[in-house]
Amino acid sequence: MRRVLLKKDVLVALLELSRHLHPNEVIVLLRGKEIKQDIILEEVLLAPASVYGRGFSEFRLDMLPIDFSIIGVAHSHPSGIPTPSVDDLNNMIGRVLVIVVAPYLNEKHIVAYNSKGESLQVVVDVSGS
Ligand SMILES: [Zn+2]
């Protein structure tokens, strides 16, 4: 099974941003790399011209940096629903779709999916920053 490894900094940033924007949705880009079966998430980037709304969040695709280290997108679900919507999957960028689920307390509130909507195992990488 493919795993998604979250650096501790990434975990903290995702949880704090989601809490801060609640009840609006937050959306961020994820920088990282793939090593064999693992997708490693190393950095959270705020996307250009982001809109954080109630029940939606978006950014300007045409303003995205051309950056091949962007491996996916994370957004929050203030509703607490841990599954991606059809829109989430249709608008997916990169290899991994990460959802931060209310109440955003710890890694149990972070779920990841591939482009087929299949659940990926999320692991916190404690090997260093
Ligand atoms: Zn969503």
Predicted confidence at residue 69, as pLDDT, reads: 85
Mean pLDDT of the chain: 89
What CATH number is attached to the domain comprising 11? Answer: 3.40.140.10
- Better-predicted residue by pLDDT, 113 or 70: 113
Distance 97 CA to ligand 1 centre (A): 9
| Residues recorded for the chain | 129
Domain count, the chain: 1
Which domain, by its residues, includes 70?
A: 3-125
d(CA 106, CA 100): 9
The mean pLDDT value for 54-76 works out to 78
Distance 111 CA to ligand 1 centre (A): 11
For residue 54, is pLDDT > 90? Answer: no
| pLDDT over 60 (residue 129) | no
Instruction: Choose between 5 and 91: higher pLDDT.
Output: 5
Q: Once rounded to an integer, what is the mean pLDDT over residues 52-76?
A: 78
Q: How far away, in angstroms, is 66 Cα from ligand 1 center?
A: 24
The answer to whether the beta carbons of residues 25 and 34 sit under 8 Å apart is no
Check residues 52 and 88 and name the one with the higher pLDDT: 88
